[in-house]
Amino acid sequence: MKRIYRTLCDPRALRSAAFAALAVALACAPRPAEAQVGFSEEVSSLGNRAQGAFLRSDRAELARIESGARSWGSSKDAARLYGYAFVKFRVMLLAREARREEQMEAAGEACVKALDAAIERSPRFADAYALRGLCHTYLAATSFINWFMHKSEAADDASMARRLAPRNPRANTVDALLLWFGPAFFGDQKEACKQFQSVVESYGDDPDGGVTRDGVGIQWGAPEANLSMARCAKLTDDRELEYQYYDRALRFAPDFAAVKKLKG
């Protein structure tokens, strides 16, 4: 294999334009890089408003945001499609919290569909893969049948997101949640907690782990990751650690209603 690589990458072997193109494409090309998808202030504002409504568990406000973004679902712009999918993701999780299964599944499927289109337009959009992986993950958690329909797609999306952007913590969140939600021997909550710990460390003190650039983008992930670690601490009856993670989550998002409810 090394001999083949040296041959293909040796300039003396590149004797024709056709062979040169083939060599570059197959052997000498660098690792794929993340696409620099530009988020407008409009997309960032919509996503951050949806994140705020989700954190406050404000279903009425989130429904208004969802209605206002409806046309974005048929956009040809990858960033707008991502923004639309993010709104649907947040609708999905509030519906899950309220046990509205039909609404949850419909929002999840809409999220996946919009991100299919976004990725078609921008195939190296790492955060789109990560978000689509999360939508697949929560759909997988709805039933044993859905687990087999969505689990592999979620894992594949997480793998691609990591390949494109190794330091993006949202891809590792997919893997942790698959272990957390996995039915029977497919799941392992102790291992999930190890991965959640790694995710929390990746975020550090940054609300979105450095994913947004120049302050433009949708900030999300760190409060939810710390809530997951609080749940992990609760599994081991470590009440002090559980409350430390609640406090960390609230430092990122003081209005995080789910954390306030659990903290009491």
Total number of domains constituting the chain: 2
Question: Is the pLDDT score of 75 beyond 90?
Answer: yes
pLDDT in tens, 192-249: 999 999 999 999 888 766 676 555 689 999 999 999 999 999 999 999 999 999 999 9
Same domain, 51 and 5: no
pLDDT in tens, 3-41: 333 333 444 333 334 323 423 333 344 445 555 567 889
Same domain, 17 and 53: no
Q: What is the CATH number of the domain that holds 121?
A: 1.25.40.10
Same domain, 13 and 138: no
List Cα–Cα distances, 180 to 17, 73, 177, 213, 215, in angstroms.
51, 30, 5, 30, 32
Is 218 within 8 Å of 39 (Cβ atoms)? Answer: yes
HSE-up (13 A, CA, CB side) for residue 103: 14
Same domain, 128 and 152: yes
The whole-number pLDDT of residue 36 equals 58
For residue 70, the 8-state DSSP code is: G
This prediction has a pTM of 0.84
227/209 Cα distance (integer angstroms): 16
pLDDT in tens, 110-165: 999 999 999 999 999 999 999 999 999 999 999 999 999 999 999 999 999 999 99
Same domain, 17 and 89: no
Q: How many CB atoms lie within 10 A of CB 158?
A: 27
Q: Which domain holds residue 5?
A: 1-30
Same domain, 248 and 151: yes
Same domain, 17 and 115: no
161/157 Cα distance (integer angstroms): 6
